A = this chain, B = another copy of it.
Amino acid sequence: MQIGIVGLGLIGGSLGLDLRSQGHQVWGMSRNQTTCEQAVTIGAVDFASLDLDGLGCNYFNTDLVIVCTPIASILPTIKAIAPHLASTTIISDVGSVKSAIAVPAEKLCDRFVGGHPMAGTAFSGIAAAERNLFRDSPFVLTPTKNSDREACEIMRSLWVSLGAVIYECSPEVHDRAVAWISHLPILISAGLILACDRESDQAIGQLAQNLASSGFRDTSRVGGGNPELGRLIAENNQTALLASLKEYQQVLQNLISQVESGDWQSLESSLQQAHQIRQLYSN
């Protein structure tokens, strides 16, 4: 296939490496000229440009464009490129929120099908791109009832070919599921960091920093991540995230009540339950 990748960061670059190694012809687009050049150099794309015009006639026969920009740029990107593509071209994306993108994207492109590869590394940017990033990682395909079925099957086959484990659900179901395991943890974890900072005794605050070890680091990791990404996720998955936060708030209140009343038996049962439930997530 002739495939376009818009946004040449970790995900876009890694995708390009894998797709080209399978014989697809891949063009890339990035706002940054250096990134375009790097993407060509590492072999993530056959050629790259700052815009469609720069690709010359190369994009006319594009079968599929995958938008790999940050969340906030996905819809503007689709709006900018869709009018110039053939009506048969499929557009997809890799954003970590789906409902907020799918509804307007479908108005811009008849053959839009959203997706979310749940893979990554601690690094970002084209320099971090690597082969087989998606192998054995979940990929969620999120068609709506309006989605072109043939486009869905093409997308599914493509991600299967990259070694991903495919799940298919509506954008709404995706957003509710990831609110629990991906978006809620960000706020819970950020809250931990912000709470620790409220220790009124400076010496104790300093000691806490000195003593913090792997337990604190793990629990605070996602909360200390990219603030803009966290904000965009919350902004674009507000309803599901808020529902998760309110459930969490109730659970936390229960735990606090157990500690406050010294009901250690109940607290131990809660922790026992948490211990058991977590096994279900440990794959």
Distance, CA A168 to CA B177, complexed state (A): 46
Distance, CA A279 to CA B224, complexed state (A): 8
Chain B residues lying within 8 Å of A218, measured Cβ to Cβ, are: 218-219, 221-222
Q: Are the C-beta atoms of B224 and A275 separated by less than 8 Å? A: yes
Distance, CA A230 to CA B272, complexed state (A): 9
Q: Is A194 part of the binding interface, using a Cβ–Cβ cutoff of 8 Å?
A: yes
Q: Are the C-beta atoms of B215 and A182 separated by less than 8 Å? A: yes
Q: Are the C-beta atoms of A182 and B216 separated by less than 8 Å? A: yes
Q: Are the C-beta atoms of B274 and A211 separated by less than 8 Å? A: no
Chain B residues lying within 8 Å of A199, measured Cβ to Cβ, are: 176, 180
0 or 1 for each of A109-143: is its CB under 8 Å from B? (1 = yes)? 00000000011000000000000000001101000
Q: Which among A169, A178, A181, A216 has the highest number of chain B CB atoms within 10 Å? A: A181
* 8 A Cβ contacts from A244-281 to B: 244-253, 255-256, 259-260, 262, 264, 267-275, 277-281
Q: Which of B181, B204, B226, B242 contacts A260 (CB 8 A)?
A: B242
Q: A216-B182, A219-B218, A222-B218 are in contact. Are A193 and B278 (CB under 8 A)?
A: yes
Chain B residues lying within 8 Å of A222, measured Cβ to Cβ, are: 215, 218-219
**By DSSP majority rule, is chain A's interface helix, strand, loop, or mixed?**
helix
Q: A182-B216, A204-B173, A222-B218 are in contact. Are A268 and B231 (CB under 8 A)?
A: yes
Q: How far is the CB of A102 from chain B (nearest CB, A)?
A: 17
Chain B residues lying within 8 Å of A247, measured Cβ to Cβ, are: 195, 198
24 pairs across A/B with beta carbons < 8 Å? A138-B213, A177-B204, A177-B211, A181-B212, A181-B213, A182-B213, A188-B188, A191-B251, A191-B252, A193-B278, A193-B281, A194-B277, A195-B250, A195-B251, A209-B281, A218-B219, A218-B221, A219-B219, A227-B275, A231-B264, A235-B264, A245-B259, A246-B256, A249-B253
Please report A residues at the B interface, Cβ cutoff 8 Å: 118-119, 137-138, 140, 167, 169, 173-174, 176-178, 180-182, 184-199, 201, 203-205, 207-213, 215-228, 230-231, 234-235, 238, 241-242, 244-253, 255-256, 259-260, 262, 264, 267-275, 277-283
